[in-house]
A and B are shown apart, each in its own frame.
Chain A
Amino acid sequence: MTQIKSTSISRLLGIERVSWFNLILLLPLTIFLTVMVGYPLVIAIFSSIGLAHPVPGLPDYFTIESYQAFFNPENPALKCLWFTIWVTTITATLSTISGISMALYLKLRDIDLPVIISFILKLPLFTPYLVIAFIFWVLLYPAGYVVNIMMFFQQLIADYIVLFERKPILVNDQFGIAIILCGTWMRFPYAFIIAQNQLAMIDPSYEEAARNLGASRFTVLWKIFLPLIKFGLLSAALLNFLALFIAFSIPFVLGASWPQFLSVFIYVNAKDRGDWLTGYTTAVVYLVIAFAIGICYTRALARSQTNGN
């Protein structure tokens, strides 16, 4: 009787042919992910629409007013979202273009980098985030090397032209200069590695054939290399975008008090101001955008792998 019951439950769940041993092995991870990832996401979504009240100050009825308020053009959260997208787009573009340019140059020169240089190029990817934030903070703050070097050159040319009357603000600034520079430094190697790997997979006979037919180096690059690696590059650009878009440490240390990066805005509203509704609503919008970018990244990656590059 028990066996009949368990078999019918398995069939109902669509796991009648699945080994129970496998299911038991998956159980600890499944429980952990459900409690530590699934539950918090559900709480965040439900709290933003009044269906859960884990903290005081949330509406006790179903409402989407907080989302209507979020998309009001005057809402600071929306301004922070645009600022985040703007800064992230510039950073992803700069880091991807610089990484690709270097990979293409080395490919055209037919140069294999020594192992030590390849490892050095990967260092920014493995440097702890808070250390990177610290590095760029001390580089760009008013007493840092960059500002001092800029002022030194200004003094040299002071008789001819005045570029800065006083020390420029490069960190905790309203344009996100420090975040852009830091993000570009941090993510450039990823685009380089992806471009280099994709270029290495291109059949050399394509280039030889084109060159024999009189194609210039630029034509080979534009008509052969770039079309073949475009989805790989798109996936690299999207991952670079996503990596900075969901960042917290870098904008928290290097960002301005206004406009804020979206992650910092959520932190300040929820933790410091106790405005949990704004915090949860912004967090859900943030989540949805990150999820959409994640899906685009996965698709671009799949295309790059099936493209036969």
Chain B
Amino acid sequence: METKDIFQTKVDPMKGSGWSPITVAIVGTVVVMIILPICLVFLYSVSTRWYQTSWWWPQEVGTKWLLSIFQTENLRNALLNSYSIAFLTTLATLAITFPASYVLGTKERYNTGWPATVVETFSNFPLAFPTITLALGLMPLFQALGLMSSYTGVVLCHMIMSIPYAMRAMVGSFVMIPPEYEEAARNLGASRLYVMRVIYLPLVWPGMLAAAIFSFSWSLNEFVLVMLLGFPEIETIPIQIYQFVGGYYLHPQKAAVLGLFLLIPGLGLMYIVERLLKGTAVVPAGA
């Protein structure tokens, strides 16, 4: 009887107590501290009159600043540039990373040698490197190639940072495909190109979609490379936000409206990635 008592699991007063008031308070505080600052973007974007004497809430709300974005040519261009550059960056990134991801994702089956290892390691380098260093090195190259302050140049430099994220998402998808699928197709005489197109492409689409979302989001948010290699000819949403909060013409409301064009698609797309990759999404580095 005594032996039985000794081996009985001790009841921890904290365990299983679930959502006690203290827990609710702690988790609630953290959630509020995350949500409230983000809500500020929405609040500033609709505040059309806000006096300093009544600092706690705007006196008038409306869509004045939202409409002003579409009525101002350079802001309209910034929106157009941001989304079109992000779209092209995504397409180019997928085109260049799909074949490489196939090689890296199936390297257990084929002898890929040191070139694959080098490419895999090197493709991750930009994640840990200060982007400003790369930008400084790219400036003379872009000047020599006539890519400085050009649309093509901005797309190319956005690809530098979107490739590592896209590779991670896509290589993971290739690894998860059972090798028997490819072996069966190859035994029946299919070429490797045919296998890539007919077997892998339909199966790795969640990884490709995640890669596309990473590339699109990264390009949409990118700031320093456009600032150094594209500005002033190429203006994007982040550049305009900076002009309104850090530049000479301070206008938090317009910055907030522009911020919505980054925030809403950014969070929406990341929600899809979270669902696709079941919470194992790649966490971005840098700021």
- Chain A interfacial positions (CB closer than 8 Å to B): 14-15, 17-19, 21-23, 25-26, 28-30, 32-33, 35-44, 54-55, 102, 105-106, 108-111, 113, 117-139, 143, 145, 148, 183, 185-186, 189-190, 193, 208, 211-212, 214, 217, 239, 242-250, 252-253, 262-263, 266-267, 270-271, 279-280, 283-284, 286-287, 290-291, 293-294, 297
Q: How far is the CA of A63 from the CA of B56 in the complex (A)?
A: 58
Do B256 and A134 have beta carbons less than 8 Å apart? Answer: yes
Do A109 and B133 have beta carbons less than 8 Å apart? Answer: no
Do B119 and A29 have beta carbons less than 8 Å apart? Answer: yes
Q: Is B114 an interface residue (CB 8 A)?
A: yes
Do B44 and A243 have beta carbons less than 8 Å apart? Answer: no
Report the minimal beta-carbon distance from A77 to chain B, rounded to whole angstroms.
13
Q: Is B241 an interface residue (CB 8 A)?
A: yes
Chain A residues whose C-beta falls within 8 Å of the C-beta of B224 in the assembled complex: 248-249, 252, 263, 267
Do A130 and B223 have beta carbons less than 8 Å apart? Answer: yes
Chain B residues whose C-beta falls within 8 Å of the C-beta of A102 in the assembled complex: 26, 30
Q: Is B84 an interface residue (CB 8 A)?
A: no
Q: How far is the CA of A139 from the CA of B8 in the complex (A)?
A: 53
Chain B residues whose C-beta falls within 8 Å of the C-beta of A32 in the assembled complex: 96, 159, 163
A17-B111, A129-B221, A131-B262 are known contacts. Are A246 and B125 too (CB-CB below 8 A)? Answer: no
A128-B262, A248-B287 are known contacts. Are A36 and B156 too (CB-CB below 8 A)? Answer: yes
Do B31 and A121 have beta carbons less than 8 Å apart? Answer: yes
Do B134 and A267 have beta carbons less than 8 Å apart? Answer: no
Interface string of B10-49 (1 = CB under 8 A from A): 1010111111100100110011011101101100100000
A134-B252, A183-B287 are known contacts. Are A291 and B223 too (CB-CB below 8 A)? Answer: no
Which of B52, B55, B283 has the most chain A CB within a 10 Å cutoff?
Answer: B283
A-B pairs, 10 with minimum CB distance: A40-B137, A54-B140, A247-B287, A294-B128, A25-B99, A18-B113, A126-B270, A128-B262, A44-B137, A130-B238
Q: How far is the CA of A113 from the CA of B26 in the complex (A)?
A: 12
Q: At the interface, is chain A mostly helix, strand, loop or mixed?
A: helix
- Chain B interfacial positions (CB closer than 8 Å to A): 6-10, 12, 14-20, 23, 26-27, 30-31, 33-35, 37-38, 40-41, 44, 52, 55-56, 95-97, 99-100, 102-103, 110-116, 119, 122-123, 125-126, 128-141, 143, 156-157, 159-160, 163, 192, 217, 220-221, 223-224, 227-228, 237-238, 241-242, 245-246, 252, 255-256, 259, 262-263, 266-267, 270-271, 274, 279, 283-287
Do A26 and B255 have beta carbons less than 8 Å apart? Answer: no
Say which residue of B14, B18, B19, B267 sits within 8 Å of A126 (CB atoms). Answer: B267
Q: How far is the CA of A105 from the CA of B259 in the complex (A)?
A: 34
Chain A residues whose C-beta falls within 8 Å of the C-beta of B252 in the assembled complex: 134, 137-138
Do B242 and A252 have beta carbons less than 8 Å apart? Answer: yes
Report the minimal beta-carbon distance from A261 to chain B, rounded to whole angstroms.
10
- 21 A-B residue pairs with Cβ-Cβ distance under 8 Å, sorted by A, are A14-B113, A18-B113, A19-B111, A29-B119, A33-B123, A33-B163, A36-B138, A36-B157, A37-B126, A40-B141, A54-B141, A102-B26, A120-B35, A126-B284, A127-B266, A130-B221, A130-B223, A130-B237, A131-B262, A183-B287, A297-B128
Q: How far is the CA of A22 from the CA of B34 in the complex (A)?
A: 46
Do B228 and A271 have beta carbons less than 8 Å apart? Answer: yes
Do B141 and A243 have beta carbons less than 8 Å apart? Answer: no
Report the minimal beta-carbon distance from A246 to chain B, rounded to whole angstroms.
4
Chain A residues whose C-beta falls within 8 Å of the C-beta of B19 in the assembled complex: 111
Chain B residues whose C-beta falls within 8 Å of the C-beta of A26 in the assembled complex: 99-100, 103, 115-116, 119
Chain A residues whose C-beta falls within 8 Å of the C-beta of B157 in the assembled complex: 36
Chain B residues whose C-beta falls within 8 Å of the C-beta of A55 in the assembled complex: 139-140
Q: How far is the CA of A232 from the CA of B55 in the complex (A)?
A: 43
Chain A residues whose C-beta falls within 8 Å of the C-beta of B141 in the assembled complex: 35, 39-40, 43, 54
Do B241 and A131 have beta carbons less than 8 Å apart? Answer: yes
